[in-house]
Every structure is written in structure tokens, then in C-alpha cells.
Chain A
Amino acid sequence: MKNIYNKISYIGIAAVMMLFASCTFDEQVDPNGPSVDGVESNATIGQLNELVVGVEASARNGIAIETTASGTMARELYLFDADPRNTGDLLGKNGIGLDNNSFYSTSQWNGSYRCIKNANLLINAATNSNAVSDEERRGYIGFAKTMIAYELIQMVKSYDRARVDVADENNLGPVLEKDEALAEIRTMLNEANTDLTGATFLFNLSAGFNGFNDASSFAQYNRAVAAMAAVYAGDGGAAITALGDSYFDLMGDLNNGPKHLFATGGNDALNGLFKLQSTTVENQNNGDQIIVHDSWINDAEPGDTRVANKAALRPDPTASQDDLVGAYETRLYASSTSPIDILRNEELILLYAEASMLNSSPGDAVTALNVIRNAAGLPNYTGGLDDASLTTELLNQRRYSLWCENHRMFDLRRFGLSNTLPIDRAGDVIYNTLPIPLSENE
């Protein structure tokens, strides 16, 4: 019997030795992508520049949904596509409320904050890196802060509020009301402008930023964003000053300004606002189309070239979806790789007009509005110089210059005119603010 137990214990010992001989597993590394921690401490210039590309690329996130959702809510377009909520929820069909857990409320929020996080990670990485000089570091930081500020303004436009302090994902700051948020955003832009002064860009931005791709010219873009923030905050004086330091030019090319680029590469993105043109009744594209709201066509001044440039009559103008119909469809973009303007001179001129009105300089406002009108083939403005008339004219020019560019809903909201919108179907309800996503646990 002893013998047996001995044998068994030998085998036991052998088994234990086998355990010790068994491999120790190595620390695991993600084979599918670089780790965040690996970049946060002592990043190389190459890594910092990769983060810059990430910030610029992710600034495109959510842009199509942001534009079609707010455009639908502001009755300047419909999106006919596979998702019925585009013609249901957003128009308050049968009184249904907006949902805070659906793509239209979450995509742009998550998309913009992804870009903001990329920018914050860039700021951290640049701050902790020994590979760059102070001037170079300030280049990265000034770029990042300007990009953050622009994205936060988009949040205010869609949600009327924004969470500004988001650098630490575990300790998020409060969601701020519009005025407070804009104040923070303007401070951030001014900090960025200071950072950019005398800074050096070690990185290349995409061709969309041609003309704005070194520290001093990028600062002009920073000032343009600052002017926009100032106007939205009702600060006409600061806006005029900022415009002076930007690429605003009453005589200049209306299209001058940075752009989002799109391309067909694997990790690139396409312009989601481009829709295939319908050419005949038979091949009419009704399943994925941006339909121009009939009121935009009907309310246009005769001869406004912007209408023909941006919209075209559909081969079958009666084709409906969800009881909605529009005779025109979008021609805003020529292809799925057409760039989308971030902030072009045309918008700066309109901001100048609005800032002038805030500063009680109606003459300057009319000058600017006439630049826009003339460019659209329209004669000079002949209406009154009172605030109400000028506001109507300003909003009208913005409506046609910036159609389908995510402005109309915010413009009507900030002037308290959302309730003037038409109701297309009995039972529809007008909303002018998207709900903050459910995941924010508000």
C-alpha cells in the first residue's frame, strides 16, 4: 500500500513541476491599435502629428446628421431615407417627442466630443512631451483649443447647452447653459490665440486648411471663430475686433475659409450630405435624398441665384414619403468627396452685418448684406433700417446663404422665431432644441 501512495505522490510532484514549468503569460498589448497611455507620456513629434490628424479628421464626425436633423426641425429640408425617425420624430409627427437616446440626438454629440477628446489628449501629450520646444508645444495647444471651441459652439447650436469642462473623463464638469458656455468658449479661444502668437506648427493640416496652416494664419481662423462666438453672445464690439484679425473681407472671395475634406480612403470619410441626383422619373432617388422644403423655394426672392445653385426640380416632384412632399432636391454638393465649408467669408460677412446691428451701425450692416445680395444676383436692400426690418433681412440672407449648413434652427431659436415655422402635416409639432443624450445622466 505504501508503494502505491509513493507512486501517486511522485506523479503529484511531477504535476506540480509541470505547473511551474508552465508559461507565465506576457503583459497583453492590443494588436489592433496604438494604446492611449503609450502616447500620453513623452510622445514623439510623429505621434503628436498623428493626433493632430485625428483631431482634424474627427471634426467631421456627425456633421451630416447634425445638419439634416436641425434642417428638418427648422423646416428647411426633409431627409427621405431608410430611417423613419427622420420624417417622424424630428417633425413631431402625431405629437411624438424627441428622444434623447436616438441617433439624431446622440450622433453629433458623441461625434463632436470625440473630436474634443482627441484635442484634449493632444494637449496632454504635447504638454508631457520632451520632444518639442515651447513654441512648438504652443502650436499644438493653440490648434487643439481652437478646434475644441468650434465644436462646443456646435453643441450650443444644437442643444442650447454644452458641457465645457471635459478634459478629465472621470470628472466631467457641469452642463452649462448657453450664455455661460459661450463665455467659457470665448475665454478658451482667447487663450488659444495667445498660445498661437509666436508659436510654431510642426505639423501639416490637410489641404482643407490651405492658407490657414501655420500658426499666424491659423490664428486668423481662431479669430473668425471668436467673432462667431461673440455675435452669438451678443457682443458686437468684440466681434468686430475679432473679425478685423480674421480673414473676413467684404471684397474678398465669399468661399474663402477652412474646409472639411472628404475622400474615399479606408480610414477617411465621405461627405454624407451629398445625395445622388435624380435625372429621370424612372431612376428618381427617393430612398436617400435631401428634399428642399417647398417654403424655401416659394419664399425666395425672384432671381436669387442661390436657389438654382443649391436645389433642382425633381423629375417626379410629387414623390412622397411619410406624407411629405417637396418638389426640389439638394444640389449643394457635387460629389461625395466635395468639401464642406467650416466657416467661409460669406458667413463672416453675415456675422459682420449682425455685429454691426448689435453695435447700432445699421449702415455697415446694410453694406455687408448688399455684398451678399449682389453676389446672389439680387439688387441692393431697400427696406427699412429699423432693427426689426434689418433682422428680417439678415435672417433671410442667412436662410439662403447658409441653407442646409446647420444654421436655420439656431437662428430662429436665438431670435425667438421658431413658432413662425410652417406645419406640414396635421399633428406635427415644432421643436427647436435637441435633448441632451440619455447617457449624460442629466
Chain B
Amino acid sequence: MSKTLSLRALVFSLVFFPFLVLGQNITGTVIDGASSMPLVGANVIVKGTTNGTTTDFDGNFSLDISEFPAVLEVSSLGYTSVEQTLNQAESVTITLQESTTSLDEVVITGLGTSIKRSNLANAVSSVSSEELVGTTSQTTVDGALYGKVTGVNITSSSGAPGGGFAVRLRGISSINGNNQPLIIVDGVYINNVEIPSGLRLASGANAANEENGANRLADLDPNDIEDMEILKGSSAAAIYGQRGNAGVIIITTKRGKLGKTKINFSQDTGFNTIANPLGMRPWTAQSVEDTFGPDERDKYEAVIASRGSLYDYEDEIYGDTGLITDTRISGSGGSEKTKFFIGAGYRDEEGIIANTGFDRFSIRGNIDHEISNTFSITSTSNYVRSNSSRSFTGNENEGGLSYGYALAFTRPWVNLYPDANGNYPNNPNYSGNSIFVRDNAKNEDSNNRFIQGMTLKTNILNTEKNRLKFVLSGGVDYLSNSTYVYVPETHQSHPDPQNPGFIAVGNNDFTQFNSQAVAVWNNDALANGDLGLTTQAGVTYLYQDRDNVLTTGAGLLANQTSVDNSAVQNVFQTRSEEKDFGMFAQVEGNYKDQIIATLGYRLDKSTRNGDPNEFFGFPKASLALNIANMDFWNVDAINQLKFRTAYGETGNPAQFGSTFTSYASTTIGGPVGQTLAGLKGDPNIKPETAKEFEIGFDVGVLNNRINLEATYYNKQVEDLILTRSLPGSSGFTQERTNLADLKNTGVELALSGDILRGENATWNSRLQFYKNTSEITRLDVPAFAQPGAGFGTGLGTFYIEEGQPVTQLVGNIDGELQQVGNVEPDFQMSWSNNLTLFKQFDFSFLFQLKQGGENLNLSRFLTDLGQTSPDLETPEGQDRLDSPTNALRFVEDAGYLRLREVALYYRLPSKTVEKLLGGNIEGIKLGVSGRNVFTVTDYSSYDPEVSVNGGAGLSSGIEVTPFPSAKQFYLHLNVNF
């Protein structure tokens, strides 16, 4: 019984504490080393026993101890645990220091259980609230993760406020299907859909994923998050079965703690500004004439003569400073029985383009209530209203809407400003006037979202050796989204020139419902309970439906913005319904915290599979050896040495509709008819299955002052579902079926240390390194250009080919297909630092490095064609114009080094606060911070993090005139009452 410590022991001891022992009473106080403030809710346990308690709201505890000397183990989430020896009954003060990686923190890994980090067999990354939003203000959860987790790759498809991110864990796990991790917030499966607006029908973009919409994780306020756990691979996520292929992100929101009610108010005020303006081609009269002829030179000279300079449309369109405000107030607290957290936040963010922005109002109520020793319930409620206005960027065809596309052809001596009567001139060199579009056209969406989770825990049995509980939980995520696209009838270009003007109104309803029943049995086996066995078994059910209705109108009445004021109306509807059902069982054995082994199995079926009632099995097994806990270990300097290995399988069913081969409706001036929809479905489609093997070790030196985590993984995805091009002569253009295998291997290293631990200076630093390489190991069909991921081999495309990385870019170079690049980075690194000086100043910064990885910069294709690329006054630029417009010409290295976050905070000393404002205020914190402060890169466009195809599938690394990225600066005020 040397070091057994777990949550269940704690619960057990709390429940049975009154009956256990009577001894001498000791009292003490636990304080936070950084702030010297009392620490509420810290666990205090007499080592080697189940005798323990938690500190009250003044940080005080009291314990009866029967035998001396006794060792007190004191721990708290986010702090390094401390052991203190007591030789007699006395009063003690114990100081806990914050830790970057706390080995004692509890990690949720099963569906009904959790495990201490020090016993974990997988490299599960945790991100605390402090790491997520503690440095600077964040708009979205996924955007806040940059540089904070090993093994993650984040792609941004738009710099518009409100995001547009794709998170990939350990490489690509699906080529056409879902690559986004499963996101679970307080037990509720969250919808992270990217909702198309029908904008493509006005702009001529090729597909819905070129509309660059936001993914709806944007609705979750990052400030509500207490903790995130990231199960990156199949070995960690196996218990999630066929929803776990792309990894799982488990988010826990803030909850009330025992103690007096705390009120927190915080205000962030900041601004957005373009991160990296590209500038204008430095035209001369001669170069204008050489390029466009003498007529244009006359126009150029006329403008120079009349206003002294050219029109800087990049600055005009992207040069705004967008104000950001983020206001939050929350209250939390609780008694022994009932704990609560209520909070509300409002964020309003303007973009760098006029009339763009994002705002989100979020209100949350989290309640935990213990009905009796047997029953407890928790409820998590979150209502969100968010709105965004994203305007027009990215790819298009003749829409005249996308700013970057239009500016590529806009000559800076052409006046696009409205005249005195408000009439905007046509753009003579492109199909749209960007100033007109910015001022008059709209692309907006709004969301009403309600997320509710419920858990009922029943302690069925509580004996010395056995504890059995039954956990029933469920949740619903209801999202009602509406989109609105408006292009006035006075715009230059129209999809239907006879019916100018365009409106698209989308009404999109999404309902997700998940429920789960788990029985968990804790059994202390062997003679003295040396072997802790945790067995769980249960069932899960997931239901999702969506109903998307898009109504469009063309031929608008003058100045009218409603769809019924149009001459030609169309309606499109898309529906889907999915159901998943799974069963699972898992046994975990813990021998004296020395050997921890887990075996588990999950069975799943889904209506998205060919046979909706066929079960697929997903096994898992893992082993962790805590060498430093073993009896023979006598190296004091190394307090942790753990070898761990894990294997697990997960799945991913085909996306909805893959089993169907269907007709679409069509007409030709008369009754409705049927035409083949072009996608050949597979009625026997199986889920993609990933098998991952992970091995690694963790070392903790000098009582965890320095920690190293090293992990290698090998993830094989089998039966990949591919949407491949069929020979067009078959009448189908695409087929979706199981066709390939894919291998991802990678290394993740994380080194963290408390470099300084002084009274007046502490410094935590964390250095991360990770890399992933992929290879298609089987392909049943000839190599093919991935539809919808690129613009064909002429300009470069993702190309699925056996023996090659799944992320390779291939182009047609002089008639031969050739690999021109690979969007996968060679490796990525991040370096985060937190310094606290004189207990009052916090300085933190985060650097992120992406080495290698290529992009196809097709913005340059357009600016070259329009002769507006900034470098065209140089001989190199001119030489480029003479080279063929193939993929080789546009591929660029997309590596970068970025100061992702930096902040300085000042905490007013509590005495000053008391003197100034009286005793009601506990603490005041002031700060300044910046996000994306600077970037070092050779990439020639706005931001190497880019994707014209949104977040789905393979998307990343192909650029067509995106919404430029912004940098942000903030002032912060935080008050605790």
C-alpha cells in the first residue's frame, strides 16, 4: 500500500471517513506558492492510508491521525504534489507550486473512469484554462491550440473573425471522411460542422468547401474551458470506437468548487490589424506602358497628376483596424452538497475588412448536486448566440466578389470609388468593384445554439474492497443556423445576367443527441488491496440529424434585400439522419502504481455503414511500467521513470450518403425529370479502421522539476474510404468506397521544466517537437487526382498514389506528372514560457515553428496574370512571367517561425487592493498581450497557414486569395470579488 492514491480512494475515504479511525487531530493550511493565497479544494491524504480530506475555502484542513510519524500527501489540480512528514500532532502550512505538467492531475480516458497522469500508458495532452486563454484573448478554441499540443496540425482556411480551422491529430486519418477529432464537452458530443451559405452560387466558386465558412466549434467560448484532454491516436481513443479515428478532444468546462462564492469579472479590449500586407507593385510610367500599352500609361499619368499617388486598394480593403472587446462575468462556489458555476460572456470582434466581424454571447450554468451518498447529478447548460459577417474572399469564377481575386486584376490607377451620387464605377479589368462589394454586399450567418448535458451517478455499492457505481449520462446539442448572402442588383456581375442581384437565405437545423450508460466496478484485489481493478462496461447511442434548406432569389427589386422580392426563386434541401450504437467493456489493473495495464473492447454499428446492423469490433490494450515506483528503485534524483506502450483500434464510418447511388432532379422548361447524381455509392461500404501502436517513456527529474515525454507512434488506417474519380465515360464522375491503406508514423517530444523556482522569480518553460510522415501503403485503383482538393494537375493537386505521402502535391510538368511538393511539415516545434517576477508580474510568450511543408500559392497565378504581383518590377519577377503556368511555378516553402502569443500581466498586491478598494475585492490583474505578433517566413503571400478548400478532407496548403490573417493586441483587466 505504499503509494496508492486515486480518486476512488479519496471518494471512499470521504464517505467512510467518520467511521474509520479516531486519532490525534492535526490542522493545517495549504497555500498557492505564486500568490500566497489559500488554496481551496486541495487533497490532503495520509500516505499509505485512505485517510484524507480536502481544504476548505480558507485553505484550511483538519485530520485525525492515529500514528506518527505520518506523511501527508497534498495535491491539487495543476500543482506539483508535495509530501510532508509529521512527527507529532501540529499545525502545518504547506505550499504548492503550480506545475506545467502535473503528474497527479487526473485524465479522463475511459467513458466512465479517469486515471492519474503518472499512470497513463498514452501520451495524452492536456491543455489547461491557463494555457488556453491565460496568455492572450482567443476567439475560438481550435485557433487557441496553436503551438500548445504535440502531434496537432492546425490549418486556417480564413483569417476572418470567427475562424475557419481544421485540427488534425497525428496526420491525416481519412481522405474524404471526417478528419476532425470528435469533440466532447462535459459529456455532450459537439457538432463542429462547416455550414455552406450558397455563396458559391453568386461567386461561381466550385464547391461548398470553397466558401470558407467557419466551423461551429466557434460557438464555444474558450474562456469557459477549465481543461482539455486530447486523445490523439487510436490507442488512446479506442474506447470511442468508430467515432475515434481522428482522435478525441474532451473538454471540461469550469465548475463550482467548495468554498465561498467567487465573482470574477474580466475585460479584454484590443484590435485586429493585417499581419502581413504585401504591398503594391511599384509601377513606373514606363512599366505601365510596357505592360499594358500607351493608353494605360496615359491613365496612370493622369492619376499621378491629379492625386499624386496611385490608389492603394490593398490598404483600402484589408487595412482596417478592427476593435475587439470581450467581457465576462462569472460566479462560482458551493456547499458540500451543491456546487455551481454561472457565467456569461460577450465577445465582439471586427475584422480587418470593413463590415466584417464576429460576435458571440454565451451564457453557462453548471451545477453539481449530491442528492445523497448514493445519488449525485450534474447539469451543464450552455446557450450561445453568435453572428458573423465574413464578406467575400477565396476562390470564385466571374462572381466579381472575392476581394483578393478582384484586386489581382485591379489596376491601381483605376478609380473604383463612388461618385457624388453614390454610383460605383464598373471595374474595367475584372467582373467586380471591390469597394462596391465591401460597402454593399453581405455574407452573414447567425447561430442559436443550446448545449445541455446531464449525468446521474449512482453509488450502488460501497464496501472496503468493492465500489460499484452506475453512471447515466446524456446530452443534446441543438444548433439553429441561418445564413444570408446578398449581392445587390447594381453589382457588376451576376450568375444570371438577365436577373441581376442575388440573395441566398439558408435555414439549417442540426440536432445531436447522445446518451451513455456505464457501470464501473472498483475492486481492491490481492491480499492487501495491492491490485486495484477498475472494470467498466456500458452502451452508447448517438443520433444526429440535419435539415438544410437554402432559398435563393435572383432578379431583385431595386434596393430590396428579401428573397421574395426577386424574379426567380430556387429552393435546395439537404437532409441526413445518422444513428450509432456501441457497447464497450474495459478492465484496468493497477498494481501498486508500478504496473498499470488496461484491456478493452468496443463494438459499434452505424447507419452510415453498408449494413447498418453489422457490429465492428475495436480492441485496445495498454501497459505502463512506473520503474521509479518499484521497490528496487533508489535513484532519488529521478522521481519518475515510466515506460509505456499502448495499442488500440478505432473506426470511421463513411460519410452520410455513401451507400446510395441516386438521381437528382432536373427540368428542361417542363415537368421534373431525373438525372444521375454522379456519385456511385457502395451499398457494402465498411468503416475505415485505424490501428495504432504507441510506445514511449516519461522521465521526471528532481521531484518533477524537469520532465521529458517521448512518444513514437505508428498508425495504420485500413480500408480508407476514397472518393475517387471514375472514368467519366461510365456516366459517373465519382465513386466512394474502401480502396486504400495509409500509414502515419511520428515522434512527439515534450521537455518541460521549472527553470527558476525562487521566491521572487519563477520560470516555467516547455519545449515541444513533433513530426509526422504519411504514406499510402495500398491503393486498389490507379493513382488519381483527389477531386475537390486542388485545381487539377495543370495547376497542381493532391494526388493519391501508392508509396507516396497522402499530402503530396502533383502537377503536370511538360506532359509528365511530377511531385512538386508535400504540404506536410518536416517537423513542428513550439516553445512556451511563463515567468513570474516578484509575485506580481507574469510574463509569458509562445513561439511556434513549422519547418518545411509546401503550399501552392495560386494567388500569385492571378496576380501574375493581372500583372499586379509586387515583385514584377524585378528581373526575377519578369522571368517568372515567361515560365509556363504549371504547379512548379507556384509551389513555395510554407515554413515559418511565429511569435504566436506574448503577454505581460501585473497583479496588484492584495494590500494595495484592500487599501484602494476595500475588502470586497480580492484581486486585480492588469495586462497587455499580443497574438500573431510577428512571423518569419519566405512564403510570399499573407500567411502560410491557408486552405482554399475549407477544413474538410485533405484540405490545406492550397491558396487562392484568402481572407488575410490578422495580428491582435489586447489590454486586459481581471477582477476577483
Contacts and interface: CB of A to CB of B under 8 A. Distances in A.
A127 interface: no
Contacts of B576: 31-32
A100 B725 CA distance: 13
A82 B431 contact: yes
B727 A54 contact: no
Given A27-B612, A287-B432, A34 B498 contact: no
Interface stretch (B56-64, B338-346, B421-429, B588-596): B421-429
B396 interface: yes
A25 B605 contact: yes
A113 B661 contact: no
Nearest to A47: B674
A28 interface: yes
B660 A284 contact: no
Interface in B548-589: 552, 554, 567-577, 579, 581, 583
A11 B541 CA distance: 19
B669 A36 contact: no
A287 B605 CA distance: 52
B730 A84 contact: no
A155 to B, nearest CB: 9
A350 interface: no
A231 interface: no
B18 interface: no
B702 interface: no
Given A24-B613, A25-B605, A28-B607, A99 B812 contact: yes
Given A53-B666, A83-B397, A265-B667, A440 B673 contact: no
B152 to A, nearest CB: 32
Contact of A172 (B492, B605, B667, B729): B729
Nearest to B405: A82
B37 interface: no
B727 A117 contact: no
A327 interface: no
A72 interface: no
Contacts of A101: 785, 792-794, 797, 812
Contact of B397 (A18, A81, A261, A268): A81
Interface in A99-131: 99-103, 106, 109-110, 113-114, 116-118, 120-121
Interface in A172-213: 172, 175, 204, 206-208
B461 A28 contact: no
B439 interface: no
A287 B493 contact: yes
B292 interface: yes
24 contacts: A7-B468, A19-B539, A23-B579, A25-B579, A31-B576, A31-B577, A34-B663, A36-B676, A37-B661, A51-B674, A53-B667, A54-B666, A94-B883, A101-B792, A101-B794, A102-B793, A118-B731, A120-B731, A172-B730, A264-B499, A265-B570, A266-B569, A267-B664, A322-B865
B538 interface: yes
A274 to B, nearest CB: 7
A386 interface: no
Contacts of B493: 287-288
Contacts of A49: 671, 673
A375 interface: no
B782 interface: yes
Interface in A281-326: 281-288, 316, 318-322
Contact of A54 (B539, B675, B812): B675
B672 A50 contact: yes
A30 B605 CA distance: 19
B728 A109 contact: yes
A290 to B, nearest CB: 12
A17 B168 CA distance: 39
Nearest to B730: A169
B727 A440 contact: yes
Interface residues of B, number: 110
B861 interface: yes
Nearest to A288: B398
Nearest to B204: A82
B812 A163 contact: no
Nearest to A108: B728
A437 B399 CA distance: 27
A333 B468 CA distance: 79
Q: Top 5 nearest A-B pairs by Cβ distance?
A: A117-B731, A53-B673, A287-B431, A266-B570, A99-B794
Interface in A4-26: 4, 7-8, 11-12, 15, 18-19, 22-26
Highest count of chain A CB atoms <10 Å: which of B554, B573, B613, B666: B666
A11 B729 contact: no
A88 interface: yes
A95 interface: yes
Contacts of A102: 791-795
A54 B537 contact: no
A332 to B, nearest CB: 14
A58 interface: yes
A125 to B, nearest CB: 10
Nearest to B495: A270
B731 A18 contact: no
A117 B568 contact: no
A188 to B, nearest CB: 15
B917 interface: no
B872 interface: no
Nearest to A83: B397
B815 A33 contact: no
Contacts of A47: 674
A264 B568 contact: yes
A223 interface: no
A100 B493 CA distance: 30
Contact of B675 (A118, A206, A335): A118
B667 A267 contact: yes
A287 B668 contact: no
Interface string B511-541: 0000001010100000000000000011101
A114 B659 contact: no
Give the interface centre of B552, B571, B732 by most chain A CB atoms within 10 Å.
B732
Nearest to B494: A276
A402 interface: no
